[in-house]
């Protein structure tokens, strides 16, 4: 009987290693400025070699946290388990208590960078692992600004569904990309129809990354069943139907960043 129980426990343990037994994340309110806290969702991965600090798009935030899971529909938020499965601690940047909307201009402001700095410091204290910044859609503005202003504290940068329209404040190609000296991955969907994120404008990011030691552009064309607004999370803009494939591409590149 004892042998049977032992075999069952070993089987369960191996299953957790192969498929990852999803644990629960934790909601934190990190003091970032006087009288202001910024929400952060945190979930560690077993034996993680790196941490990803995720910047969702839109107004920011990760939705409610229920049963240890962030409930937002943003691509990065709903794909959080796949980052864990890739062996990364996951931190998701929320919103400061004095704002309910991280607009385009807000994301390149000194106030936002002050909040990001404090959250990044908090994340680094949670785990002794290199931190990679990952942004999607409007979150790429925050991510690029972080890589420019706080790059000595990060290992690299990943931009997905980047805001590339020069009409938008903080659009990624308009930022001082030449200042970035960490590896950068740019992931985009060929069918992204959001007018602020048109695929033909994406190469401008790579041209601006004059001093990144490694830079890579990956255009994907997978997924299925896009619905809703073309700039929202459940359309091609949010890698609908190919979330795991997209995160695996990101994860594999972070583990081995090459041009």
How far apart, in whole angstroms, are the C-alpha atoms of residue 73 and residue 233? 6
Average pLDDT over residues 186-202: 98
Edge-to-edge strands, sheet with 131-136: 26-33, 36-43, 88-96, 50-55, 131-136, 156-160, 184-189, 215-220
Task: Give the tens place of pLDDT for each residue, 80-122.
Answer: 999 999 999 999 999 999 999 999 999 999 999 999 999 999 9
| Count of C-beta atoms within a 10 Å radius of residue 46 | 12
Average model confidence (pLDDT) across the chain: 92
Q: Which residues, in sequence order, are CB contacts of 222 under 8 Å at separation 6+?
A: 239, 241, 242, 245
Domain map (residue ranges) of the chain: 21-255
Report residue 9's pLDDT band, with 50, 70 and 90 as the boundaries. very low
CATH superfamily membership of 21-255: Alpha/Beta hydrolase fold, catalytic domain (3.40.50.1820)
Q: Which pLDDT score is estimated for 81?
A: 97
Q: Please determine, for residue 20, whether its predicted confidence score (pLDDT) is greater than 50.
A: no
What percentage of the chain has pLDDT greater than the value 90? Answer: 91
- pTM for the model stands at 0.91
Q: Which pLDDT score is estimated for 23?
A: 63
Which residue in 169, 172, 174 sits closest to 157, CA to CA? 172
Task: Give the tens place of pLDDT for each residue, 111-148.
Answer: 999 999 999 999 999 999 999 999 999 999 999 999 99
Name which residue leads in pLDDT, 169 or 2: 169
Q: Please determine, for residue 10, whether its predicted confidence score (pLDDT) is greater than 60.
A: no
Q: Which pLDDT score is estimated for 204?
A: 98
Task: Give the tens place of pLDDT for each residue, 205-216.
Answer: 999 999 999 999
What percentage of the chain has pLDDT greater than the value 70? Answer: 91
Report residue 162's pLDDT band, with 50, 70 and 90 as the boundaries. very high
Q: Please determine, for residue 236, whether its predicted confidence score (pLDDT) is greater than 50.
A: yes
């Amino acid at each position: 009987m004892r042998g049977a129980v032992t075999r069952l426990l070993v089987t369960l343990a191996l299953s957790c290693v192969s498929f990852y037994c999803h644990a629960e994340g934790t909601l934190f309110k990190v003091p970032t400025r006087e009288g202001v806290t910024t929400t952060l969702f945190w979930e560690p991965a077993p034996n993680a070699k790196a941490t990803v600090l995720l910047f969702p798009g839109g107004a920011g935030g990760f939705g409610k946290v229920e049963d240890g899971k962030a409930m937002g529909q943003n691509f990065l938020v709903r794909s959080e388990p796949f980052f864990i499965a890739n062996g990364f601690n996951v931190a998701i940047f929320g919103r400061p208590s004095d704002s309910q909307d991280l607009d385009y201009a807000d994301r390149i402001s000194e106030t936002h960078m002050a909040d990001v700095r404090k959250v990044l410091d908090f994340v680094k204290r949670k785990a002794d692992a290199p931190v990679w910044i990952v942004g999607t859609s409007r979150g790429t503005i925050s991510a690029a600004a972080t890589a420019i202003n706080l790059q000595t504290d990060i290992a690299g940068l990943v931009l997905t569904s980047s805001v590339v329209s020069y009409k938008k404040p903080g659009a990624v190609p308009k930022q001082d990309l030449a200042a970035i000296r960490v590896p950068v991955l740019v992931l985009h969907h060929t069918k992204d129809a959001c007018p602020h994120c048109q695929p033909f404008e994406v190469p401008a990011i790579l041209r601006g990354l004059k001093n990144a030691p490694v830079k890579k552009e990956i255009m994907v064309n997978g997924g299925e069943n896009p619905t809703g607004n073309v700039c929202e999370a459940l359309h091609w803009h949010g890698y609908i139907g190919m979330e795991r494939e997209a995160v695996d591409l990101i994860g594999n590149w972070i583990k081995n960043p090459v041009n």
